[in-house]
Structure 1
Amino acid sequence: MTKELIARINELARKQRTTGLTAAEKEEQQRLRTAYLADIRAQVKGMLDRVEIVDVVEEEQTVRRGISGKYKRR
Structure 2
Amino acid sequence: MEDQRITRINELYHKSQSVGLTDEEKEEQAKLRKEYIAAIRRNLRGTLDQVSFVNPDGSITKASELKKR
TM over 0.5: yes
**1:25-71: CA deviation from partner (whole Å, max 9, x where unpaired):** 000000000000000001111111111111243211112236xxxxx
- 2:5 partner amino acid: L
State the structure with bigger RCO (CA 8 A, min sep 6), 1 or 2: 2
CA RMSD of aligned residues (A): 1.4
Alignment length, in residue pairs? 67
Aligned to 2:18: 18
Give the secondary-structure state (helix, strand or coil) at the position aligned to 1:21: coil
Report % sequence identity: 40
Q: Mean Cα displacement is larger for which, 53-62 or 18-27? A: 53-62
After TM superposition, the runs of 4+ consecutive aligned structure 1 residues lying more than 4 A away are none
Which 5+ residue runs of structure 2 have no aligned equivalent? none
Instruction: Give the TM-score, by structure 2 length.
Output: 0.87
Aligned to 2:67: 65
Which 5+ residue runs of structure 1 have no aligned equivalent? 67-71
Instruction: State how far apart, in whole Å, the 2-side matches of 1:11 and 1:57 are.
Output: 52
Aligned to 1:46: 46
Aligned to 2:55: 55
Q: Does 1:28 align with 2:34?
A: no
